[in-house]
Amino acid sequence: MIIENIEKIYSTSTEKVIGITNFSYSFEKGKFYAIMGHSGSGKSTLIRILGLMDNATSGKYVINGKDVSKLSDKELSNIRMENIGFIFQDYYLDQNLKAYENVMLPMLINKKIDRSDRKNKAIDLLNNIGLGDRVNHYPKELSGGEQQRVCITRALANNPDYLLGDEPTGNLDEENEIKVLETLKNLSLNGKCVIVVSHSNEVKNYADEVLFIKNGKLVVENEGN
Ligand SMILES: Nc1ncnc2c1ncn2[C@@H]1O[C@H](COP(=O)(O)OP(=O)(O)O)[C@@H](O)[C@H]1O
Ligand SMILES: [Mg+2]
C-alpha cells in the first residue's frame, strides 16, 4: 500500500480538527512496521484510513495497484474482506461464540470459501497460531493474550495480505504482549504486511521499520528526528 500526502480533517459542528497532515509512505508485504506516536497524534486516524474504515480528506491511497478514490463501494468492500485483516485493542470478540466460531465470522461473507470448509479452516488457523487446545473455548474462558490471538486468527480468516493493528497490545501484560508481537512477527516473515500503531516501546523491537508521528509529520526513525 502506498500513501501520498494523505490528510484527514475532521469537521465537527463547531470546528475543524486536523487528524493527520501530508503523510506519505510505501508499505510492503513481508515486513513489520511499527508506527509510534503520542495520544492524539493521529495513529488511529492513519490505521483506519489504511484499513479502508475511513476516507482521507485529501491525498492519494493506492492498494494493490488500485487508487482507492476510484473504486466503487463494492470494490472497496471486496478489498476490505479479502486483503485487510484488522486487530483491535479491545479484541471485539463475540462473547457468545466459541473461539473457532469467532474465527469463522469473516468467512461467512466470503463466497470463495465453501460453507463446509469453514469450520476446519478456522480450526487449522487456530492450530497454526498455537491455540489448537482452545478452539471450543468462549472468550471469557481465555486470557487476554489468548483472546488477542483469536482476534489475530479471525483477522487471518480470509488470508489477507495486510494485517493492521490499532494498539493491539494495549491491554496486555508484558508476557502476553511479547507472545502477540512474536505471532505478528512470524506472520510478516511468512509474507504478510503487518502494520501496528502503538505507543508501546516493545513493538519497536519487532519491527523492520519504525515510523514516528512527530509534530504532525510521519517520519522514519533516524531520519531527521
Ligand atoms: N471523529 C473525530 N472527530 C473529530 N476529531 C477527531 C475524531 N477522531 C479523532 N479526532 C482528532 O484527531 C486527532 C488524532 O486522533 P487519533 O487518530 O485518534 O489519535 P491517536 O490514535 O494517536 O490517539 C486528535 O486531535 C483527535 O481529537
Ligand atoms: Mg488511537
CB of residue 42 inside a 6 A radius of ligand 1:
yes
* Residue ranges near ligand 2 (ion) with Cβ within 5 Å: 43-44
Each residue's pLDDT expressed in tens, for the chain with a length of 225 residues: 999 999 999 998 999 999 999 999 999 999 999 999 999 999 999 999 999 999 999 999 999 999 999 999 999 999 999 999 999 999 999 999 999 999 999 999 999 999 999 999 999 999 999 999 999 999 999 999 999 999 999 999 999 999 999 999 999 899 989 999 999 999 999 999 999 999 889 999 999 999 999 888 899 876 544
CB of residue 216 inside a 6 A radius of ligand 1:
no
CB of residue 40 inside a 6 A radius of ligand 1:
yes
pLDDT the model gives residue 199 = 87
Ligand nearest to the CA of 19: 1
Task: State pTM to two decimals.
Answer: 0.94
Express each pLDDT in 32-49 by its tens digit: 999 999 999 999 999 999
Ligand nearest to the CA of 88: 2
pLDDT the model gives residue 221 = 76
Question: What is the second-level CATH architecture of the domain 2-220?
Answer: 3-Layer(aba) Sandwich (3.40)
pLDDT the model gives residue 225 = 46
pLDDT the model gives residue 223 = 52
153 class by beta-carbon count within 10 Å (0-12 exposed, 13-18 middle, 19+ buried): buried
Instruction: Give the residue, by CA position, lying nearest to ligand 1 atom 3.
Output: 10
Instruction: Give the residue, by CA position, lying nearest to ligand 1 atom 27.
Output: 40
